[in-house]
Amino acid sequence: MRTIGATAAEAGVHVETIRYYERIGLIPQPPRGRSYRRYPAETVRALRFIRQAREFGFTLKEIAGLMALERDNAGCAEMCERVDRKLAEVERKIAALTALRNELARMVKHSPRRGRHTECKVFDCLSGGSSC
């Protein structure tokens, strides 16, 4: 059992992050001992899971769902289904960002890069001009 500070350090998160996750019900709040709460090793593991899932782009709501699967002793197929959905979302975002990158590159490529801003393709496009 460890203090909140030791738990935070071991899990690689801030103390306020732990308190926030407790408030929203993502992790349980341990009972108060004589003067402060003592956190079990399971809390460190849960915090590491949350941190890693966040790095993979999962929202806190999605992470709560993943953690519920674990609590319910769900199979690997259910966990992979959630990851498949996240992967599809990432693929959609990549496609949208690629299209955006291409449009920005096209806009700059066709801009003369000289003269007044009124002659600039970028300005014209961002202003809703007809030459985009």
Task: Return all residues near 10 (Cβ < 8 A) that are at least 6 apart.
Answer: 2, 44
> 0.85 exceeded by the pTM?
no
Query: pLDDT of 69-91, one tens digit each?
Result: 989 999 999 999 999 999 999 99
Distance (Å, whole) CA 61 – CA 66: 9
pLDDT in tens, 15-63: 999 999 999 999 999 987 777 889 999 999 999 999 999 999 999 999 9
